[in-house]
C-alpha cells in the first residue's frame, strides 16, 4: 500500500477512535460490540436509511469492522416513494464516502402505493438487501431498531389485538426474515434509546436526512408515538415499559417450551410427502398451546414467510375439534383433513396421501 493511502487510512481510523473517547459513545459502543460479537461469523451488512438512528448504527458498525477486521457492507435503499428519495440516497452515499465508508444504493421499482405504504417500503427494503446478502455470502443484516421502536411496536400490536407472542416478538435481538431462509435480522440497539442514538449521530458524522412521514399522523406509528409522549408526561417511563416487556418475554418463553413439546410429542413429519400428521392429543392441550403449535405446523408445511391470520387459525381449530367434521379445508398453502382421530396437513400443490412414509418426529 502506498504511503499516501496508509496516511489516509490512519487518519480515518483516528477519527473513529477519537470519537470513542467520548464516555457516552464508548459505553454504547461496548454494549453494541458485546451484542453482536457472538452472532457475527461471516461478516454483516447494515441497512442505512440516513436517519439519526441508522447513522448512529453506521458509526458503531464501522468502528466494529475496523477493530475486528470484519467484512461490513452498507446498503442505502431508494424506495421511490418521495420525489426527493433518489437525491437523498445519493446525498447519504456521498457523505458516507467522505468518512471512508463505501455504500451501495439499492433502488425499488417505482410503483403507485396508496395503502400500507410503510409495510410496502419495509418489505421491499428487505427483499433488496436479502438479495445482496446472498450474493455477498453473509447471513446477518443489522438494523437500527431501538428501545423507542420496541415500545411503539408494543402499542401498535396492542391496538391490533395481538396475543402474547405478537406483543413481544419485536424484542428479540435476532430473528429470521423468512421462515425457511438463513438470513437473520440483528437488532443490537434494541435496548438503546433514540435520544442516545441521536447523540452519537450528532457527535460523529453530524448529518442525517429527515423523513417527513415521521411527522404525518395518517400513519398509525406516528399516532402511537404521540400517545406514548403524552403518557410519559404523566409519569410513564421507557424503563417501566421495558420491565413489563421483559416479564412478558419470560411468560412467552414458558409457553414456547410447551408449544415445542406438543409438536414433538404429538405430531409426525413425513419427509417423502412433506406432510404432518397430528395425533389426537395435539388438539387437547391448553388453547394457547394448540393455537401456536397449529400455526407453526401450518407455516412449516405451507412454507410461508409469515404465520396464518389468527382468526382463520382459530376457526379451523374449532372445526377440527368438532366430532363429525371430516371434509378437507385449505389454509396458507396447506390442505387440512381430519381422518378419525388424526389430522393430516399436506402442501396444497403436492398432496399425495399414497406416499405417506418415512415417519420422523416433527
pTM of the predicted protein model: 0.79
How many C-beta atoms lie closer than 10 Å to residue 186's C-beta? 22
Reading across the β-sheet that carries 103-107, which strands appear in turn? 103-107, 72-78, 44-48, 140-142, 184-186, 174-176
If we measure between CA atoms, which residue out of 214, 218, 128, 117 comes closest to residue 177?
128
d(CA 95, CA 85): 15
Reading across the β-sheet that carries 359-361, which strands appear in turn? 329-331, 334-339, 342-347, 275-278, 267-270, 359-361
pLDDT of residue 358: 39
Q: Burial, 22: exposed, middle or buried (Cβ in 10 Å; 0-12, 13-18, 19+)?
A: middle
Give residue limits of the domains in the chain: 3-236, 262-361
d(CA 343, CA 89): 51
The C-alpha cell that represents 128 in the structure block: 433488496
Using only the alpha carbons of the chain, give its radius of gyration: 24
What sign for the dihedral angle of Cα 226, 157, 165, 40? negative
pLDDT of residue 7: 54
d(CA 307, CA 104): 32
pLDDT of residue 115: 58
d(CA 196, CA 28): 8
* CA 272 vs CA 102, 279, 334: distances in Å: 47, 19, 16
pLDDT of residue 325: 65
d(CA 230, CA 235): 9
Architecture of the domain whose range is 3-236: 3-Layer(aba) Sandwich (3.40)
What sign for the dihedral angle of Cα 105, 106, 110, 115? negative
Phi, psi of 115 (to 5 degrees): -130, 155
Q: From first to last of its 362 residues, what are the pLDDT tens digits of the chain?
A: 555 454 546 656 789 999 999 999 999 999 999 999 989 888 999 999 899 999 999 999 999 999 999 999 999 988 777 778 889 999 999 999 999 999 999 988 766 655 566 666 777 788 888 888 888 989 899 999 999 988 888 888 888 877 888 888 777 888 877 655 678 999 999 999 999 999 999 999 999 988 777 777 778 888 888 888 888 888 878 788 888 888 998 999 999 999 999 999 999 999 888 999 999 999 999 999 999 999 999 999 998 877 788 889 999 999 998 866 678 899 999 999 998 889 999 998 754 444 433 334 34
d(CA 190, CA 235): 22
pLDDT of residue 24: 97
Question: Three-state SS for 361?
Answer: strand
Amino acid at each position: 500500500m502506498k504511503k499516501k493511502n496508509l496516511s489516509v487510512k490512519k487518519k480515518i481510523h483516528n477519527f473513529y477512535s477519537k470519537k470513542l473517547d467520548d464516555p457516552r459513545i464508548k459505553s454504547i459502543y461496548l454494549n453494541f460490540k458485546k451484542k453482536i460479537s457472538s452472532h457475527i461469523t461471516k461478516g454483516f451488512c447494515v441497512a442505512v436509511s440516513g436517519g439519526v438512528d441508522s447513522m448512529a448504527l453506521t458509526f458503531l458498525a464501522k468502528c466494529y469492522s475496523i477493530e475486528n477486521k470484519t467484512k461490513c457492507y452498507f446498503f442505502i435503499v431508494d424506495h421511490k416513494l418521495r420525489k426527493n428519495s433518489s437525491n437523498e440516497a445519493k446525498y447519504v452515499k456521498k457523505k458516507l464516502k467522505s468518512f471512508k465508508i463505501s455504500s451501495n444504493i439499492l433502488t425499488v421499482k417505482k410503483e403507485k402505493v396508496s395503502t400500507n405504504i410503510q409495510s410496502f417500503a419495509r418489505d421491499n427494503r428487505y427483499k433488496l438487501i436479502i438479495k445482496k446478502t446472498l450474493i455477498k455470502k453473509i447471513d446477518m443484516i443489522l438494523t437500527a431498531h431501538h428501545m423507542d421502536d420496541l415500545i411503539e411496536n408494543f402499542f401498535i400490536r396492542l391496538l391490533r389485538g395481538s396475543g402474547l407472542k405478537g406483543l413481544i416478538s419485536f424484542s428479540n435481538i435476532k430473528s429470521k426474515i423468512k421462515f425457511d431462509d438463513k438470513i437473520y435480522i440483528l437488532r443490537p440497539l434494541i435496548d438503546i434509546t433514540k435520544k442516545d442514538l441521536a447523540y452519537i449521530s450528532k457527535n460523529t458524522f453530524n448529518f442525517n436526512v429527515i423523513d417527513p412521514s415521521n411527522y404525518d399522523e395518517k400513519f398509525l406509528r406516528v399516532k402511537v408515538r404521540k400517545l406514548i409522549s403524552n403518557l410519559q408526561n404523566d409519569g410513564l417511563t421507557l424503563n417501566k415499559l421495558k420491565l413489563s416487556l421483559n416479564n412478558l418475554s419470560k411468560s412467552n418463553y414458558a409457553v414456547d417450551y410447551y408449544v415445542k413439546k406438543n409438536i414433538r410429542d404429538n405430531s409426525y413429519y413425513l419427509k417423502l410427502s412433506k406432510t404432518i400428521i397430528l395425533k389426537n392429543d395435539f388438539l387437547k392441550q391448553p388453547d394457547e398451546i394448540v393455537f401456536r403449535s397449529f400455526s407453526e405446523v401450518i407455516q412449516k408445511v405451507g412454507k410461508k414467510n409469515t404465520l396464518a391470520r389468527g382468526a382463520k387459525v382459530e376457526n379451523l381449530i374449532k372445526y377440527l375439534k368438532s366430532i363429525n367434521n371430516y371434509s378437507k379445508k385449505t389454509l396458507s398453502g396447506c390442505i387440512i383433513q381430519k381422518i378419525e382421530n388424526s389430522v393430516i396437513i399436506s402442501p396444497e400443490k403436492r398432496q399425495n396421501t399414497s406416499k405417506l412414509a418415512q415417519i420422523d418426529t416433527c
